[in-house]
Structure 1
Amino acid sequence: MTTVTSLPHSLSESTRELIPKSKVLVVGAGGIGCEVLKNLALSGFEDIEIIDLDTIDVSNLNRQFLFRKEHVGKPKAAVARESILSYNPNIKIKAYHDSITSQDYGVNFFKRFILVLNALDNRGARNHVNRMCLAADVPLIESGTSGYSGQVELIKKGVTQCYECQPKAPQKTFPGCTIRNTPSEPVHCIVWAKHLFNQLFGEEDPDQDVSPDTEDPEAKVNGEHSVTETGNIKRTSTRQWAQEIKYDPAQLFDKFFKTDIEYLLKMENLWKNRKAPVPLSWKEYASYEGDNNEEENSVRTTDMQVWTMSKCAKVFSDTVSILKEELSGKSFLVWDKDDKPAMDFITACANIRAHIFSIPTKSRFAIKSIAGNIIPAIATANAMIAGLVVLHAFRVIIQEFEKCPSIYLRKKSIHSKFVLASDKQISKANPTCYVCSPKPFVNVFVNVEVMTVKEFETEVLKKHLNMVAPDAVLDGKGMVVISSEEGETEANDNKKLNEIGIVDGSILKCDDFLQNYELTVAINHYEAKNKEDPSFKVVANPEDLKAKEPLNAVESETKNGVEAKDVDSDDDLMIMDDDQEDPPEEDPQEGSSKRRKLNPPEDEVDEDLCIIES
């Protein structure tokens, strides 16, 4: 056991006096979080609080050194606290096994700390902590790594730019017809499997329909369907149909891997220059017997080996039954890469579909890495970034903010032999930022005759503008159109915006009580001319309104996401598991497909994942 008896001698006397008195919050106990906690404890910080929602997984053990095999399944925050106390039993450390976005952690909670250290794995939580620290006027040190790269950045209200001052790259997307009709890479099958999970057990989304896409331009002859109308699949709710057949695995299997594939084969145009898929039936693979020479549940057999089709069929059947029971009494399930039945379901479905389309199948471990957007984690990078985080912390507690420029870790420097480089000075706030500017304001271009109030709340306010529990009042009329109070404005949910008086030129005063955040939204009526155009557009910078083309002809890369060849990063910084392959290249056949975008694997990443800005 190591016990700290004195503070680092290289620090100034004023810093050495303040460190034991400084109360700090660490958000995240993953790869970087473990290193940061260790550094804080060994540097003399005596009042630390740690919050993390996750539990410990076997895949964490190769780099999150505060955890051991016996800790698997336990809360990260609690185990991290116990481990840190072994480094320094004299400190006060409190752990929360909870989400930082919970309403239990409002502005007053953040005001208790002199400093907040982010070690998060997703953009949504980062956005939230950024806003909470701005509202509480508490310095935030943001950090993250991606393989051999990393970044440390100070965020201080009125001094530096905030986390949302600069736009982040959109998540990688794929054309819907590629996912439904013509997959050519493992990632396409994995995205399809995740969509199937949501259709059967998760929150249903029409854009994630897994049935063959009859609107695929390649499937048409002279503009008409290449199959007769009587042959078209009847579009019904997958969830409703599954419930009607009581989630019978045989019928589900035949529907998705036989009937739908046979229907695709009728679209003859699709297979002129591609290898046609081969339908599979339940009877072919219904009988499965495990290998008697090794344990069925061993890590090597379950995670590292590529499953046979017979095993995939067996796992498909088993997980359907398990997930059906878990769904009982709930509206929907949320897919989690660390939930075994859910991950097994994705692995089985993705591999069966890959086999059908002559695509290489993958191990459960490899599929988890792709489905969870996991980038291989480098323990050394985590340690270096965590060290820089605490060096920044020393300067922050004595309010030397100007001495905390952003620092970048790179595998190879272009201009020198050094792997660490920093900005010459701190980055100033973006004057048009809709989060930290004095009077946050955005223009929202939306079809007020089509979008419903609920869609506006979910897609615009929550997903795009990152609010957690928004309220919206129609300026001039004082009418509350969206309320965070349950049931208060439920009657408005399915009404079109213009039906409740939100028209071109309307002004909405929006606020999020939890984030202590207010925003003025100007509504502009906008009609998409074709399917490629986005359903809405948010413009914060007035200069962006001076477009070279009308908004109805938005350039392709600014629509529903970047092209499939762009980097697939959940955030600016991300970290990953070791044996991840290089990101798949763009399907050369996608260029002629319908450019409707569908989300790839959800923005879930392994514990260390963060975002890194080049």
Structure 2
Amino acid sequence: MTDSGSSDNIDRNLYSRQLYAIGEEAMKKITDSKVFISGMDGLGVEIAKNTILTGAKKVTVHDLKTVNIKDLGANYYLGLNSLDKKRGEEVLKKLSELNSYVETDSYNEEITQDFLKQFTVAVFVNYPEEKKIYYNKLCRQEGIKFIAVDSISVFGSIFVDFGDSFTVYDSNGEEPKEGIIDKLICDTDVVVKCIEKQMHGMSSGDHVKLILNSTKLENSYEIKVIDSSTFKIELTDSLEDFLKGFEFKTGEFKQEKQATNIKFKSYPEASREPTFMNEDFLHPNINKVLHTCFLLKDSESFIESFNSKYKSLYKEDTLSEKDKRVIQVFKSTRDTELVFTNSIIGGWVAQEVIKGCSGKFNPIHQFMYFEATDSISDKIDFTHKVEESKYFFIEKIFGNEFLTKLMDANTFVVGSGAIGCELLKNIATAGLSCGKGKTIVTDMDSIEKSNLNRQFLFREKDIGHMKSECATRAVKEMNPDFNVESHNNRVGIETLTIYNDKFFSKLNFVMNALDNIEARRFVDSLCLRYRLPLLESGTQGPKGNTQDIITDLTESYQDTVDPPEQGYAACTIKTFPNKIEHTIQWAKEGFSLFEEKPINVKKYLDNPNMIENMSSTNLRGLHRDAKEILEENLCLSFDDCILNSLKRWHIDYRDQIKEIIQKFPEDHKNEDGTFFWSGSKKMPCPLEFDINNNEHVKYVFAMSNLFADLYNINKCHDIFTVKDMIHNQLPKISETIRDNIKIAKDEKELEEFNKQDDEDGMTLEELKNSLPNPDKFKDLQLNPLEFEKDDDTNFHVDFITASSNMRALNYNIETVDRHKTKGIAGKIIPALATTTSIVAGLVCLEMCKIINCENNIEKYRNYFLNLAIPFLAYSEPGPAKTFDFNGTKFSSWNSQKIVRGNKTIRELIEDITKDISNGNEATIVDSLLYNSETALYMEATMSFSKRMKERMDKSVLEVIKEITGKEPEQIPIELSAVCTEYEEDDDSEEQFFTILYYPN
């Protein structure tokens, strides 16, 4: 399988992020599958859209109904010109544009058993009960996976029947657990102990394979967990034979996932004895209530039928107030559908289709129900008359007042990638900003091929164009009423002149569709500043979450603690790697030879005088970089590129490895008598270059072309020509083994060596004088590279893959292919169109509460989902974190203070003190910082600092310019004030306030 496509028709560039989520084997099965979807209302279209994006071999849609005006309010692939035409044929026009690899067609006849035979999975959308039973029977007879799904108002129902025996090959989608063995204890069982601070992360019944002293054992062993870092396995005869006389030094374990078989019941049988995907512990009967509601969705006398059916199914009739509310809303809105609910249920069903095709992830077993009645105001009167229009469903469910507010609302959508596209689709179809309101969407990125797999508003012709512009154009086609404006800006400090007081004063709320924490934090800070609700969401493969950030009610995004990104010890990367992530990190650091180092050197060549103001550390760094770039690796021809690449290969994979072994031979022991090469330390072995080894040649091929790019030399894309050149250059390579080389055995020693390197050697003047003369390199066109993972022609990922795998071979670590290397090195977040669709739908249901001005925190929901398990849950958002200061409660929402006018430092301090003191004269502003680090005022220094006293009567602007040498870049100026309140009993409390200062 290649990155651009291959004989198995899997285009890795297109499906890149999806492949990281489901893997190649599942993808191959999907591309061999045919899917039938009957019912092309808004829900059916959502299922079809996501299934086509995923890459099934063929998707056939079916709907013999004609389009009416109400359909337009939930089905974004229908327009006014679709009225009175067949729904199936109309939606096919747009569906067929989504993925050129997928065959799409519309079936316009009655469904027969013979017709169904060709399909892997069949989905029946919003079908009556008797039809579900009939088609479920046909599918069972033909071995076709069957899904029945309904979406009504804010309610959803999914039923899955994959037959009497369905095989799941990966039940959770997680990477197999692996780890380093510290101790192996043999008794009646074999006890395996992980190295310190490592947890195995497995459960009893899981299976592992073992590597002991570099010997890979063939068998897979079932484990029994003892504790979080220890498990045991049965001492079989073969394992006992292997361990006789065995002296354990090093070992590893790797989980081996086991296939499982699941038995499903038919629809009639499962309906009588339902099993539910998730339980709602706050509302324990809700699934039973919803199950009964959907069974009776077409009943004319709904309430009477419900009471009878519920009692016969569950032998009880006790209903909570929540249950009664659900029944009332269901009964009153069962003639409606909602684009937000369709987005959730349609995304989930599409993932069930994928499971049915591939056996990847656990399917629903067997009913899943969803409700969001809290999104509807308690005051709504469902007897109100609603005229037929494309906003009929919204008005019927939420009321006319809600529809007016929705259409007049102004919002800011930050990001128009995967989540952004889905949000725009949902809000445009529903009618947001379709009256007096406006939606602004911004995204600084342009469209790449890998986006097309899940950012469904884009087409191949859009590649290279700006996301926000293409997205807004696409949603305007869906609903011409939608008032939307596109920006191509990043939301950051540099754009605060655009996204300023005037801009935010017009907004009702903000929707984030971002993929990085830094940007989310920044938007969150702006929403706190302007007291605006923020709807936050994110996905990672089959996992997703949403967060409601509601003015004065909930905690903010930055109030929650994000887990720190995992890092690796420098000594591990430098000398003692034990897994592929270590070698990839090492290779990525090696890429600095083409990136950071030449940038540093180029600055010096362009401005030699810069060295006069450099610190000792920076000057030593420049000296090292200049030696590497302008002397050791300087290339003037492609032959030089080949030779330098060969030298690098031999230094990294032969000579330096020999130095390590020379320093720490196989029998080397620690001071405590244990073997040095044990635990997490794997003993390396040197490699010898083999011109007939393609992996060796690929390394030189990639690195030579990177050198050529760096030194502006014509590249060579023919690997056979490069191989001939290698043959000519190999005789020039000699072995260089250094004696008494310093190799740190741990982090502490590495720090000492680095400190010695910084302190020892030449003086600053000697360093300056020994730098290469810039005049000698006037004609050198140095072209520093910038790592780009998604360009398959630039050799960047090829080099890191080859470099990492050579290192892995040194240390007996299992190598990985280019695709996996790219994911790890590029920190690619796995992504699925299905998860994105679900998350966007959940966000929009929460948006309805903001439109309704809901001020009860118990009504809001933060959602958490994992399609792989499968799992969907919600919690009430955390309340705003408060602190008391001088008898007043403050939180993130009101601890930002606004001060206006041309103030001196003294006047500003007085204004702040007055604002927060609440009459307590013993309130002190301890310090005032600019940019969180520059002190404009320090109370503690007032008694002895002449400079601080002189500042007091200068203007704030004057002091900032005096300290920083320039005017403030942004208005308002953000200052940090640390303040203390003193009590009568001499107790004191220090708190932090943000000051937004407007000088004019």
TM-score (norm 1): 0.60
Structure 1 pair 80/437, CA: closer, same or farther in 2 (3 Å)?
same
Kept after mapping to 2: 8 A contact 1:107/1:135: no
Instruction: Give, in angstroms, the shift of residue 2 of structure 1.
Output: 2.7
Kept after mapping to 1: 8 A contact 2:846/2:861: no
Could you say what secondary structure the match of 1:103 adopts?
A: helix
Distance 1:204 1:134 in 2: 42
Partner of 1:88: 479
Could you say what secondary structure the match of 1:117 adopts?
A: strand
1:27-42 aligned at under 5 Å gives the runs 27-42=414-429
Partner of 2:526: 132
Identity over aligned residues, as a percent? 27
Partner amino acid, structure 2, of 1:18: K
Partner of 2:567: 173
**2:439 equivalent among 48, 59, 84:** 48
Partner amino acid, structure 2, of 1:277: P
Structure 1 pair 58/353, CA: closer, same or farther in 2 (3 Å)?
farther
**1:322 equivalent among 709, 723, 732:** 709
Could you say what secondary structure the match of 1:142 adopts?
A: strand
Is structure 2 residue 88 aligned with structure 1 residue 3?
no
**1:358 equivalent among 792, 799, 812:** 812
Distance 2:930 2:598 in 1: 21
Instruction: Give, in angstroms, the shift of residue 48 of structure 1.
Output: 2.2
Is structure 2 residue 657 aligned with structure 1 residue 261?
yes
Partner amino acid, structure 1, of 2:684: P
User: Cα deviation per residue 1:524-576 (whole Å; 9 max; x = unaligned)?
Assistant: xxxxxxxxxxxxxxxxx989xxxxxxxxxxxxxxxxxxxxxxxxxxxxxxxxx
Partner of 2:834: 380
Partner amino acid, structure 1, of 2:416: A
Partner amino acid, structure 2, of 1:30: G
Distance 2:973 2:845 in 1: 30
Partner of 1:367: 821
Is structure 2 residue 864 aligned with structure 1 residue 409?
yes
1:266-345 aligned at under 5 Å gives the runs 266-268=662-664, 269=668, 272-273=677-678, 276-279=683-686, 284-285=690-691, 308-323=695-710, 335-338=787-790, 340=792, 341=794, 342-345=796-799
Instruction: Give, in angstroms, the shift of residue 17 of structure 1.
Output: 0.3
Structure with greater Cα Rg: 2
Structure 1 pair 67/266, CA: closer, same or farther in 2 (3 Å)?
farther
**1:123 equivalent among 508, 511, 517:** 517
Structure 1 pair 366/72, CA: closer, same or farther in 2 (3 Å)?
farther
Distance 1:204 1:185 in 2: 29
The alignment covers a number of residue pairs equal to 429
Higher relative contact order (CA 8 A, sep 6+): 1
Structure 1 pair 35/362, CA: closer, same or farther in 2 (3 Å)?
same
Distance 1:362 1:239 in 2: 33
User: Cα deviation per residue 1:438-470 (whole Å; 9 max; x = unaligned)?
Assistant: 269xxxxxxxxxxxxxxxxxxxxxxxxxx9966
Instruction: Give, in angstroms, the shift of residue 323 of structure 1.
Output: 4.7
Unpaired runs of 5+ in structure 1?
207-233, 289-306, 441-466, 493-510, 523-540, 544-614
**2:847 equivalent among 393, 399, 403:** 393
Kept after mapping to 2: 8 A contact 1:312/1:348: yes
Instruction: Give, in angstroms, the shift of residue 58 of structure 1.
Output: 3.1
Distance 1:48 1:491 in 2: 39
Could you say what secondary structure the match of 1:89 adopts?
A: coil
Structure 1 pair 19/102, CA: closer, same or farther in 2 (3 Å)?
same
Kept after mapping to 2: 8 A contact 1:34/1:66: yes
Structure 1 pair 95/115, CA: closer, same or farther in 2 (3 Å)?
same
Distance 2:507 2:685 in 1: 60
Distance 1:420 1:354 in 2: 39
Is structure 2 residue 975 aligned with structure 1 residue 518?
yes
**1:191 equivalent among 585, 591, 606:** 585
User: Cα deviation per residue 1:247-275 (whole Å; 9 max; x = unaligned)?
Assistant: 64424444444443343333315974465
Unpaired runs of 5+ in structure 2?
1-76, 81-388, 601-620, 636-640, 669-674, 714-779, 885-889, 898-928, 939-947, 980-988, 992-1000
Of 262-271 and 8-17, deviating more is 262-271
Could you say what secondary structure the match of 2:557 adopts?
A: coil
Partner amino acid, structure 2, of 1:29: S
Distance 2:474 2:500 in 1: 29
Instruction: Give, in angstroms, the shift of residue 322 of structure 1.
Output: 2.4
Could you say what secondary structure the match of 1:308 adopts?
A: helix
Distance 1:345 1:514 in 2: 46
User: Cα deviation per residue 1:180-210 (whole Å; 9 max; x = unaligned)?
Assistant: 111121111111122222354137999xxxx
Partner of 2:500: 107
Structure 1 pair 412/318, CA: closer, same or farther in 2 (3 Å)?
closer
Structure 1 pair 486/79, CA: closer, same or farther in 2 (3 Å)?
farther
Partner amino acid, structure 1, of 2:828: I
Partner amino acid, structure 2, of 1:338: D
Structure 1 pair 486/438, CA: closer, same or farther in 2 (3 Å)?
closer
Could you say what secondary structure the match of 2:455 adopts?
A: coil
Q: Which protein has the bigger helix share?
A: 2
Instruction: Give, in angstroms, the shift of residue 393 of structure 1.
Output: 1.6
